[in-house]
Amino acid sequence: MGKLNTLDWICVILLIIGGFNWLLVGLFSFDLVAAIFGAMTTLSKIIYILVGIATLYVLILLVPKFGKKK
């Protein structure tokens, strides 16, 4: 995959946070982001949006790699 730049690392961290949050929601019905920042406050919405943007960014980076043959 090569070296990750700063934006790549930020997106990876956001995806880890989002994935961990969904794990907690699925297993325990506990939304960590809402618990820390409040349910659907402006800050929690920003975090959810950033996780979504990070997901789209990583998808855009990965899709071309799936089409390549080794």
Give the rounded percent of residues in the chain with a pLDDT score beyond 90.
Answer: 79
Q: Which two tokens stand for residue 7?
A: 């934006």
Average pLDDT on 9-38 reads 95
What is the pLDDT confidence band of residue 1, given thresholds at 50, 70 and 90? low
- Lookup result for tokens 């071309």: 64
Q: How confident is the model at residue 47 (pLDDT cuts 50, 70, 90)?
A: very high
Handedness of CA 24, 30, 36, 38 (dihedral sign): positive
pTM of the model as a whole:
0.82
Does the structure show a pLDDT above 80 at 15?
yes
